[in-house]
Amino acid sequence: MQEKGDFFAKYLRICKKSSNFAGVLGRTARIGRIMEKKIVILAIESSCDDTSSAVIVDGVLRSNVIASQKVHEEYGGVVPELASRAHQLNILPVVDTALKRAGVAKEEISAIAFTRGPGLLGSLLVGTSFAKGLALSLGVPVIDVNHLQGHVLAHFVEPGEELIAATPSLQGVEIKHPSFPFLCLLVSGGNSQIIKVQRNETQDGKEAHLPHMEIIGQTIDDAAGEAFDKCAKVLGLPYPGGPWIDKLAKQGDPTKYPFAKPNIPGYDYSFSGLKTSFLYTLRDMIKAHGVETIDELAEKVPNLREDMCASLQATVIDILMRKLKKAAQDLGIRQVAVAGGVSANSALRQAFIDYGKRYHWEVFIPPFSFTTDNAAMICQAGYFKYLDHDFCAIDEVPFAKTTI
């Protein structure tokens, strides 16, 4: 392993003398691949409020460690500064645990993948800086990963037998991967997109491991996950609101409250009007019953929160699935996947199964472990980019906003 360290130390010295440090380092990383017995990718995810690290060895996921942050619950949302500080506390033990669970020494790492964006800039800086520092100390290249692409590529993660045995949410789950082309509905707290995923080519014309992704529809204002969280907050439910909406909706009537649905052309979404309709419905009910708070209204209206959650959830899912169905029919694609934090919603998962049966789709629903932010999906993207020799320069900076 000493030869690897000497090699990269030498090319770093050469790069630093160059006026085009980024370009030279990027090219050198591509051609400086060291022949190894196995490919070991370490990944770091820190885009929001979850610190995560994962390890893939020769295409098989060996570990996926996530440290969540409880500090935000009392504020009803993520506080960026607190998230950054928590990442600084969590990142070292999380990475150390991921390596130990994978049975991998840091000297065996082939490359380090990290989430470059989009996300909270302060949180991204922690993961990016840690990845770069560790890569420099080990003399290995770094791989930048688009967080949104990572969610889509969660469908290609191949968990190892030991990881499955240690992870209840992976047990008894059929692991299958979509073929190209396929559509992916990416739904989270910050994104609602329909993505067409198809084969890609490298610069030299060979078939790439990382597929080409094209956004064909997206929200023009708010995301589906944000609508859940904001409406849950109005109802006085804890943060994050999405799981609470899902839980209470199972006890409510999805037809009780007919909320407004947008009329947006093409495959695009809009959820701002739905949030307004939800708020106005509560406002009018509060006024009609002569009360001042949600709690007082809940005492007068039986099953208020349950029915509101069920009606909201049904409306959001109907909006999402109608556009997805239109895209699938227009493009003639029958392989359809869902990804992102909202894909953990039980009603949305069931809707995919129902639509699959009705329209003869082959549907792909990720295991719960790979729905929310996690390093496994970042590691998978990093593994594909490693095979494509697609590395990034050491001075690349994170970005808060971007697209696929």
Q: Express each pLDDT in 134-144 by its tens digit.
A: 999 999 999 99
Residue with the two structure tokens 């895209």: 327
Q: Count other Cβ atoms within 10 Å, centred on residue 325.
A: 15
Note the pLDDT of residue 72.
75
pLDDT tens-place string over residues 92-142: 999 999 999 999 999 999 999 999 999 999 999 999 999 999 999 999 999
Model confidence pLDDT, tens digit, residues 41-94 = 999 999 998 999 999 999 999 999 999 887 777 767 788 889 999 999 999 999
Same fold across 2-175+372-387 and 224-366: yes
Over residues 30-49, the pLDDT tens digits come to 434 444 469 999 999 999 98
CB atoms near residue 301 (< 10 Å): 16
pLDDT value, residue 272: 96
Q: Which fold has domain 2-175+372-387?
A: Nucleotidyltransferase; domain 5 (3.30.420)
Residues in Cβ contact with 251 at an 8 Å cutoff, skipping those fewer than 6 apart: 303, 306, 310
Q: What is the pLDDT of residues 184-235, one digit of tens each?
A: 999 998 899 999 999 998 878 889 999 999 999 999 999 999 999 999 999 9
For the whole model, what pTM was predicted? 0.88
The mean pLDDT of 341-365, rounded to a whole number, is 98
Residue 13 has pLDDT above 70, yes or no: no
Give the residue extent of every domain in the chain: 2-175+372-387, 224-366
Q: Output the pLDDT for position 294.
A: 96
How many angstroms separate the CA atoms of 264 and 220, rounded? 9
Q: What is the pLDDT of residue 264?
A: 94
Distance CA 9, CA 190 (A): 40
Q: Does domain 224-366 bear CATH number 1.20.1250.20? A: no
